[in-house]
Structure 1
Amino acid sequence: MDVREIRKQFPILDQEVNGHPLVYLDSAATSQKPIQVIEALDDYYRGYNSNVHRGVHTLGTRATDGYEGAREKVRKFINASSMEEVIFTRGTTTALNLVAKSYGMANVSTGDEIVITYMEHHSNIIPWQQLAKATGATLKYIPLQEDGTITLEDVRATITSKTKIVSIMQVSNVLGTMNPIKEITQIAHEFGAIMVVDGAQAAPHMKVDVQDLECDFFAFSGHKMCAPTGIGVLYGKKHLLEEMEPVEFGGEMIDFVGLYESTWKELPWKFEGGTPIIAGAIGLGAAIDFLEQIGLNHIEKHEHKLAAYALERMSSIKGMSIYGPKEPGKRAGLVTFNVDDVHPHDLATVLDAEGIAVRAGHHCAQPLMKWLNVSATARASFYLYNTEEDIDKLVEGVVKTKEYFSDVF
């Protein structure tokens, strides 16, 4: 990877913020967009903006080809067995809610169990809370080890014959923990449960093969992987999707509508009611082309190198607490931390004055914050366009912030 050449593909990075060159370290929240994706959106709106599937005119045909072509790119990207298993959604949140509302309501009842972990994003907690309340099921949590990892022994001790759904993130957006999804899936299947994977922090950064993982559902968002906001994907095994009912009803997803009864289109369209996210899907297809040209394996290796470098540099700062696994290969490309006597929001504000963008807060993971015994943390997250120089500037900014608050108080 030639990171300096890659950076040239991202126009937003070539600017100053508060009089300093921008150092963008918030890609876990949303990634920046390369010129290829921006041009794909511009090309659609300028050249063939039209609705899909319904029209026979030239613009409609081009739009449909672009939309369905993007679906095929997604299929290959995650190695789904067919395009019927790829549902376009607004993002990971919508995809997980779809599974909970459709599959969950039909297959979970009183006395059943739903299993998740303490590290989950709110999007992978609240839908299951609501499902448990609606059905009388029990929501259970796999415990975490001191370093923020989970063990397969604890997975086996938590999942039982009553478990119907296991839903776990592949990569933690706070701890950077990389969970052993394939092994957890095998355990879930041994007990007759289905496996749902929140892949929001995985799909942008590593090669995902849903057939190898053997998971039943896999959800991810486009905006975290160089694509536009408002587009995401739910992968589901075909036989499960065929049994599920839609959760949105209206145009596009119907086959026949009568006065009192209606029937649905076949997969995948029965889950895509209304005018779909056409431009977003086309942009996602362009983002996949861009990432695959570079290579997901190269991106993952680059980010792991950055994470290791960041851990080394930041561990030398006195009064620094760093959360998550420290062992190489167990942490994805982010570092979540706190500085003694400095609130994360104050830290992020001072860093912003230096042109450094990091995230501060609970990161949509309040149960995990409680487990960590903190109210909030700061997080620096890396992507293919970041460099070791970015981390050096972060370290300088943290030291400067620490000294500033030491002088003030």
Structure 2
Amino acid sequence: MRVLLTTMGSRGDVEPVVALAVALRGLGAEVLVCAPPDEDFVALLGRVGVPLVPLGPTVRSVVAGSKPPTADDAFRLAAELVAARFEVLTAAAEGCDALVATGLMPAGARDVAEKLGIRYVYACLQIFGLPSRHFRPGARPGKQSPQDETDNRVLWEQDAQRVNALYGAALNRHRAAIGLPPVDNVRDYVFTDRPWLAADPILCPSEGLTDLELVRTGAWILRDDRPLPDGLAAFLDAGAPPVYVGFGSIASYLPKDIARVAIEAVRAQGHRVLLARGWAELDLIDDAADCFAVGEVNQQALFGRVAAVVHHGGAGTTTTAARAGAPQVVVPQIADQPYWAGRVAELGIGAGHEGPTPTVDSLSAALTTALAPETRTQAKTVAGMIRTDGAMVAAKLLLSERG
């Protein structure tokens, strides 16, 4: 069987797809991955020997500028990605039996599968983006809902209209060019009636939260066996476990002084600091021996050796920290990150910071909760409940359901 996997987004959107690719290949399938051509992702796929078919612009060029993308940027990118998917996926999917799409609204992927007559699966990495009677939709560019609207059904209908405004014209123009009829609800067409949920059931419970028929596979986790760099290992060995601070691919959204605030807040708790530079290229504020800065490293190996993890609340980082039993402080910035902050607090495995702009005092207060002995005990308990077989569950399901 030959399978095409495609995603668009940050490392948290790409790494799960690579995990599924590895699982599929282990079961004898031939796999291709269409993803953004960022250096990080090229290296990630190269590490496991899975071919990368470049799709669209680099994500870093879109999100790591001096300012967050504007609404106009979002509309331009949406049309560009639709065109790229029709072109790139059509060529890459030749001879494939199935196409699995995830990440940023993959408008264009199902259309290619429809034209080629192959199976299509939409997978989401959290429940946050699926229509629900129980919570409001997240923010999207476009005409916003009235402030006084409280009916979630109405709000999700308006969300569908925003998706249509972003993707509809470009999608239907490309569909017409290959002889397909127009789609009147892009979001629901992309999602299908039976989307897969690639998230851990403890961290992301879904029962009754959407009317869609979810297929729950568990999180798609890529095993990482890389050793920690010598300098980092030496820093860890030189004292008590530090507090890790890192915000991944979040760059232009971060407060400008986030590194200073975080370092001072961690020091106020009497802990050393391990600062991940990330796409924001954060740096140390002085040359004191209690701080160390790192680039991209094996978080699976690292998080078991830290006192706590301060991060932005990406699905991947949240899951990795939870698996390691590391208490967390989530400082959410955009998208699904407030959801993960709430889940960390609800589970008692850390704290969710109120709002995206911490002060030394507010972050220190959140760290007080995360560093409490009872929080670490609960984090260790939850760590034993996290499933690690989600990618294999999904791979077996994909290969067994060929219709």
Structure 1 length as normaliser, TM-score? 0.31
The answer to which structure, 1 or 2, has the higher relative contact order (CA under 8 A, 6+ apart) is 1
Greater Cα radius of gyration, structure 1 or 2: 1
* Structure richer in strand, relative to its length: 1
TM-score normalised by L of structure 2? 0.31
